[in-house]
Chains A and B, each alone.
Chain A
Amino acid sequence: MELLDGRFELKEIAKLEGHTDRVWSLAWNPATGVGGIPLVFASCSGDKTVRIWEQSPSSGSWNCKAVLEETHTRTVRSCAWSPNGKLLATASFDATTAIWENTGGDYECVSTLEGHENEIKSVAWNASGSLLATCSRDRTVWIWEVLPGNEYECVSVLQGHTQDVKMVQWHPTMDLLFSCSYDNTVKVWAGDDDNDDWHCVQTLDESNNGHSSTVWALSFNATGDKMVSCSDDLTLKIWETDETKLHSEAGYSPWRHTCTLSGYHDRTIFSVHWSRNGIIASGAADDAIRLFVENQEKGIDRSSFQLLFKKEKAHSMDVNSVQWSPGEKVLLASASDDGTIRIWELVPIS
């Protein structure tokens, strides 16, 4: 699909209802959408539940296959699938993270991770599924090692953020952990050779063209040499690193700011996700979804991006999460304060 040559729009293909409070977040199961396995995702909400949704391969319609309830006692803020799609981690304001095992359509809570002092805001698995990260209003980031028998051991408590930590994300190929915070910064954390000792290797803040208010989310491009972050300061920022150096003996190549997308958003940007085919989606408190693509013009040294499409009133309230699906046919899912999840298809305007 030559994105810059044509005009595109987002076509709504489903509106999913069931949650009885705002939907905070959603996560696609990465092992679905290929080889005849139907697409599956999980959504989590202020109603203290997690819902599992599956697309029917024959009709294309979406059904709620399971409701995970009576485990978390407060808002479930974040959810994440392990890379093989067998485990789902859910993080709650009740200060616990639950691990659910998918056994042929049934979901059983097999582990509960305790330790944070208060609300957990985000949870993420590393690329190999051997490590889990959580972050909290208690200003810390915890790294958990996944052991046999559904055991989880905290291997590091990372301190450095001076405020509420909003999101953790692992690099798509390496064991580098990124956290973003109410303190306006993004921090990069790396482990030693055994992944036993973790420390902050870089802080992206206002002094290196970073954000001037809460950083809500970040996402990587497919190769992992570019990253986008979104903020309460109404901007998206693009960061780049030297991918070859990142994999070399030197171990770490710093990230540098290359582009700021400002003037596009009117209210807080809560979510940003970079698709494998290079489209950045953003979800914001102005109820809109926006899509951006990189300009491919030759001779431009610095990266620049342009708005591909803006979907006004994508939801009737704030858009909290936007996520591109895995699989052969790429769909966008969005979750909102209006309690619904919507599934979108990017189609050329004919």
Chain B
Amino acid sequence: MVSGLINANPVVYQKKERRARNTPCDSDEYAVESIDQLEIFDHIRDIKDPEHPYSLEELKVITEDAVEVDDGLSYVRVTFTPTVEHCSMATIIGLCLRVKLMRSLPSRYKVDIRVAPGSHATEAAVNKQLNDKERVAAALENPNLLDMVDECLAPSYS
């Protein structure tokens, strides 16, 4: 992927320090622990960009604030910001986010993935495609696409 990069010189930001999740020590160890913003962010921050050797966090495609979670309603929304307005990788990045959360969260969770309002030229079309589960299911049966997704997700398993 030397030539024809969508964004040849992305700005790379420093990773945030990983915070230990603070769990109150007097809590009931058998209580169901609710899933919070930081936990979701930890699941997706190390996903690799499809064309650069940087994580989505380093490119500020996602931030902790981009994650909204309501554990009571089993609902998560991730809003990501493509590095450039015409990024043709936006659907791949969104697909990676969806697959990672699908594999990491309990199945009761409803997940919406969207690009940040105003951050992409074909925002509505990208959002519609990412949230059509039939098209997502069909895409994940495509071996080439699945390889691409798995490659982006590989670092986050380490």
Indicate if A289 sits at the interface (CB-CB under 8 A). Answer: no
Find out whether the CB atom of A46 lies under 8 angstroms from the CB atom of B137: yes
Cα of A166 to Cα of B138 in the assembled complex, Å: 13
Find out whether the CB atom of A318 lies under 8 angstroms from the CB atom of B133: yes
Indicate if A338 sits at the interface (CB-CB under 8 A). Answer: yes
Cα of A119 to Cα of B140 in the assembled complex, Å: 13
Q: Main SS of chain A's interface residues?
A: loop
Find out whether the CB atom of A119 lies under 8 angstroms from the CB atom of B138: yes
Q: What residues make up the interface of A, taking CB atoms closer than 8 Å to B?
A: 22, 46, 74-75, 77, 93, 118-119, 121, 137, 164, 166, 182, 213-214, 232, 267-268, 285-286, 316-318, 337-338
Find out whether the CB atom of B134 lies under 8 angstroms from the CB atom of A166: yes
Find out whether the CB atom of A316 lies under 8 angstroms from the CB atom of B138: no
Find out whether the CB atom of B128 lies under 8 angstroms from the CB atom of A75: no
Q: A75-B141, A232-B131 are in contact. List 15 more A-B contacts (CB 8 A).
A: A22-B137, A74-B141, A75-B137, A77-B134, A93-B138, A121-B134, A137-B135, A137-B138, A164-B135, A166-B134, A182-B132, A267-B110, A316-B107, A316-B108, A317-B108
Cα of A337 to Cα of B134 in the assembled complex, Å: 11
B contacts with A, residue count (CB < 8 A):
12
Find out whether the CB atom of B128 lies under 8 angstroms from the CB atom of A214: yes
Find out whether the CB atom of A214 lies under 8 angstroms from the CB atom of B107: no
Q: Which residues from B are CB-within-8-Å of A75?
A: 137-138, 141
Q: Among B107, B128, B137, which residue has its beta carbon within 8 angstroms of that of A338?
A: B107
What residue in chain A is nearest B112 (Cβ atoms)?
A267
Find out whether the CB atom of B132 lies under 8 angstroms from the CB atom of A93: no
Q: What residues make up the interface of B, taking CB atoms closer than 8 Å to A?
A: 107-108, 110, 128, 131-135, 137-138, 141
Number of A-B residue pairs with CB-CB distance less than 8 Å in the complex they form? 38
For the complex of A and B, 5 pairs with smallest distance between CB atoms: A119-B138, A74-B141, A93-B138, A317-B107, A93-B141
Q: Which residues from B are CB-within-8-Å of A232?
A: 128, 131-132
Q: Which residues from A are CB-within-8-Å of B110?
A: 267, 285-286
What residue in chain B is nearest A137 (Cβ atoms)?
B138
Q: Which residues from A are CB-within-8-Å of B138?
A: 75, 93, 118-119, 137
User: Can you name 12 A-B pairs with beta carbons within 8 Å?
Assistant: A77-B134, A121-B134, A164-B135, A213-B128, A232-B132, A268-B131, A285-B110, A286-B110, A316-B108, A318-B133, A337-B107, A338-B107
Q: How close is A340's CB to chain B, nearest CB, in angstroms?
A: 12
Q: Which residues from A are CB-within-8-Å of B128?
A: 182, 213-214, 232
Q: How close is B26's CB to chain A, nearest CB, in angstroms?
A: 32
Q: How close is B126's CB to chain A, nearest CB, in angstroms?
A: 14
Q: Which residues from A are CB-within-8-Å of B141?
A: 74-75, 93
Cα of A77 to Cα of B137 in the assembled complex, Å: 11
Q: Which residues from B are CB-within-8-Å of A286?
A: 110
Cα of A338 to Cα of B108 in the assembled complex, Å: 9
Cα of A138 to Cα of B144 in the assembled complex, Å: 19
What residue in chain B is nearest A213 (Cβ atoms)?
B128
Q: How close is A134's CB to chain B, nearest CB, in angstroms?
A: 15
Q: How close is A188's CB to chain B, nearest CB, in angstroms?
A: 23
Give the interface centre of B134, B137, B141 by most chain A CB atoms within 10 Å: B134
Q: Which residues from A are CB-within-8-Å of B135?
A: 137, 164, 182
Cα of A285 to Cα of B131 in the assembled complex, Å: 11
Q: How close is B132's CB to chain A, nearest CB, in angstroms?
A: 7
Cα of A87 to Cα of B37 in the assembled complex, Å: 51
What residue in chain A is nearest B108 (Cβ atoms)?
A316
Q: How close is A290's CB to chain B, nearest CB, in angstroms?
A: 17
Q: Which residues from A are CB-within-8-Å of B131?
A: 232, 268
Q: How close is B144's CB to chain A, nearest CB, in angstroms?
A: 14
Cα of A232 to Cα of B107 in the assembled complex, Å: 21
Q: Which residues from A are CB-within-8-Å of B108?
A: 316-317
What residue in chain B is nearest A184 (Cβ atoms)?
B128
What residue in chain A is nearest B107 (Cβ atoms)?
A317
Q: Which residues from B are CB-within-8-Å of A214?
A: 128, 132
Q: How close is B145's CB to chain A, nearest CB, in angstroms?
A: 13
Cα of A285 to Cα of B137 in the assembled complex, Å: 15
Q: Which residues from A are CB-within-8-Å of B133?
A: 285, 318
Q: Which residues from B are CB-within-8-Å of A213?
A: 128
Q: Which residues from B are CB-within-8-Å of A74?
A: 141
